[in-house]
Amino acid sequence: MQNREQFVADIIAAAPEQKLVSRVRLQKIAYLLEQMGCDLGFEYSYHHYGPFSHDLDRAILDAKAFGLVKEVVANRKSDGASYSIFELTNGNGASENSTIRSFKKQIQRFAKSNITVLELAATANWLAEYEKIGDWKNEIVKRKGVKTKNNRLANALDLLRELHLPPAVNTQ
């Protein structure tokens, strides 16, 4: 099995322009990849933005320490909130034996997807699969509130359907 810090670099390498915006996005991409059968070996628990891996968070720090990736912190113009931009460092790219290579198309899609839709997709999957909540739909509305509005929850469920991930529900 590859080093976890290399998985971080490989995910970033698969993203458009070898750049990935947001720690939350990186967490949700890794989580969804794991659900799709990509064995990265990260363990998850529920956190503010849905499934979260402390293992992945440490792997990000290691990837930076080993010079595989760099993280630039920027601020949104609208409200000044900070966010991370991850890029490969010069001379580093995807590993030759990457487990992630076969998921490049999905990573590129996730990198361009609305971050709230990714968060909702990961959370819906988590609630149904790991917390085994039968009425996960009401639970996600309770936990995520306004984030579920404006078709974002429907878009998240469409994404899960396309990925063949639970919960497989009819949103009509």
DSSP of 104-136, one letter per residue?
A: HHHHHHHHHS-HHHHHHHHHHHHHHHTS--TTH
- Over residues 113-120, mean pLDDT: 97
Residue 96 — very low, low, confident or very high, per pLDDT cuts 50/70/90?
low
Final residue before a domain boundary, out of 94, 110, 126: 110
Owning domain of residue 138: 113-172
Q: Same domain for 1 and 59?
A: yes
State pLDDT tens for residues 41-70. Answer: 999 999 999 999 999 999 999 999 999 999
User: Do 44 and 126 have their domain in common?
Assistant: no
How many residues appear in the chain?
Answer: 172
CA 36 to chain centroid, in Å, comes to 12
Q: What is the mean pLDDT of residues 85-110?
A: 84
Residue 41 shares a structural domain with residue 84: yes
Indicate the DSSP class of residue 89.
Answer: P
What pLDDT is attached to residue 94? 61
Residue type, 62: D
Nearest to 114 by CA among 151, 166, 141: 151
Report pLDDT for 171.
Answer: 43
110, 133, 148: which is the final residue of a domain? Answer: 110
Place of tokens 């010069």: 90
Considering the domain architecture, whether residues 20 and 63 belong to the same structural domain is answered as: yes
pLDDT interval class at 37 (50, 70, 90): very high
> Looking at the structure, do residues 62 and 147 belong to the same domain, yes or no?
no
Q: Are residues 160 and 79 in the same domain?
A: no
- Are residue 122 and residue 47 in the same domain, yes or no? no
Dist CA 18 CA 86 (whole Å): 8
- Is the pLDDT at 98 greater than 80? The verdict is no
Task: Give the domain-ending residue among 63, 84, 110.
Answer: 110
% of the chain beyond a pLDDT of 90: 88
Could you tell me the pTM of the whole model? 0.93
Asked which of 29-38, 116-125, 142-151, 162-171 is least confident by mean pLDDT, the reply is 162-171
CB 79 within 8 A of CB 91: no
Give the sign of the dihedral formed by CA 60, CA 64, CA 68, CA 72.
Answer: positive
Q: How many domains does the chain have?
A: 2
Same domain, 72 and 125: no
Band of the pLDDT at 38, cuts 50, 70, 90? Answer: very high
* pLDDT of 93: 62
3-class state of residue 37 by DSSP: coil
Furthest-apart CA atoms within the chain: distance in Å: 49
Please list the residues that pair with 72 across neighbouring strands.
Answer: 85
